[in-house]
């Protein structure tokens, strides 16, 4: 493949982790549990690079690679990118010097046992080990509550929440006075269906890492700082 390598900006926190070895972990959790928030906290404080499948698809598409073109053809049709393509992209990204040096936080990959086995192969090739797979556990009803109250402005895109960030006037944007709308993704029935699919896919994944002694269960209903503390508890990143 002659297409150029996509780049992901990292390294602003290099001085932070100069005395530590790279963190290598997987984040597993339902939509709305705050995986993105935890990934950025881990990036800011420990220097590890967040790698989500969506992020990697976009990087490959922007870099105009063959893999990017393939992925885009599925995304355009609203289909899931097949595992083989996702695995190749992940293999390519994880093997970069940056990721070797800084470590990684995987989010949305692996999403099934086939991908978990492929990840094991990548790790063997790279001669590195996974620290752990973290499962952010949260009651389904909390997820439904968190996500279903969301409303977006139809004009400026500002996001509101019926409980945590209500607009001053019901149904209208504070900023531009335009009507607010609930995205179809945020309707309770849609959220419950996404949760059903999530549990179906991830239960075997959690078993897989539990058998390897790598699963760490964390209470995802707590505040972001409390969740972060649970994730890094007992983690030894000293080089010595």
Site stretch for Zn ion (CB under 5 A), options 4-12, 65-73, 121-129, 177-185 = 177-185
Q: Could you give the C-alpha distances from 68 to 3, 47, 156, 188, in angstroms and in order?
A: 10, 26, 30, 33
Position among 46, 153, 215, 227 found at the interface with Zn ion (CB under 5 A): 153
Nearer to Zn ion, 84 or 179 (CB): 179
As a whole number of angstroms, the distance between CA 96 and CA 176 comes to: 44
Is 175 a binding residue for Zn ion by CB under 5 A? The answer is yes
| E strand spans, the chain | 23-28, 49-52, 103-107, 132-137, 150-153, 159-161, 180-181, 215-219
The sheet that has 23-28: what strands, in order across it? 49-52, 103-107, 23-28, 132-137, 215-219
Considering the candidates 111, 192, 217, 222, report the single residue annotated as catalytic. Answer: 111
Considering the candidates 101, 194, 217, 222, report the single residue annotated as catalytic. Answer: 194
Nearer to Zn ion, 81 or 153 (CB): 153
Q: Catalytic residue at 194?
A: yes
Shortest Å distance, C-beta 31 to Zn ion: 24
Position among 159, 176, 197, 235 found at the interface with Zn ion (CB under 5 A): 176
| CA nearest to 29, candidates 52, 7, 4, 2 | 52
Is 156 a binding residue for Zn ion by CB under 5 A? The answer is yes
Cβ proximity of 207 and 127 under 8 Å: no
Nearer to Zn ion, 72 or 182 (CB): 182
As a whole number of angstroms, the distance between CA 23 and CA 48 comes to: 6
Position among 173, 195, 205, 227 found at the interface with Zn ion (CB under 5 A): 173
Q: Catalytic residue at 93?
A: no
Binding site for Zn ion (CB under 5 A): 153, 155-156, 158, 173, 175-176, 178
Residues serving a catalytic function are: 35, 111, 150, 183, 194
């Amino acid at each position: 493949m002659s297409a150029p390598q996509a780049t992901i900006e990292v390294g602003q926190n290099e001085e932070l982790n100069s005395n530590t070895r790279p963190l290598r972990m997987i984040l597993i959790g339902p939509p709305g549990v705050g995986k993105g928030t935890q990934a950025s906290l881990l990036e800011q404080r420990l220097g590890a690079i967040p790698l989500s499948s969506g992020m990697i698809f976009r990087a490959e598409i922007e870099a105009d690679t063959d893999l990017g073109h393939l992925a885009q053809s599925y995304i355009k049709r609203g289909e899931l990118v097949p595992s083989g393509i996702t695995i190749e992209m992940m293999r390519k990204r994880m093997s970069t010097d940056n990721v070797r040096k800084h470590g990684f936080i995987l989010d949305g990959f692996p999403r099934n046992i086939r991908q978990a086995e492929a990840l094991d192969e990548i790790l063997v090739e790279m001669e590195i080990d996974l620290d752990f797979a973290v499962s952010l556990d949260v009651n389904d009803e909390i997820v439904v509550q968190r996500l279903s109250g969301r409303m977006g402005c139809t004009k400026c895109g500002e996001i509101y929440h019926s409980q945590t960030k209500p607009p001053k006037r019901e149904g209208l944007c504070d900023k531009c006075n335009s009507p607010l709308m609930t995205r179809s993704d945020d309707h309770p029935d849609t959220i419950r269906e996404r949760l059903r699919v999530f549990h179906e896919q991830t239960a075997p994944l959690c078993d897989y890492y539990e058998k390897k002694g790598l699963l760490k269960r964390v209470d995802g209903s707590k505040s972001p700082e409390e969740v972060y503390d649970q994730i890094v508890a007992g983690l030894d990143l000293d080089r010595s």
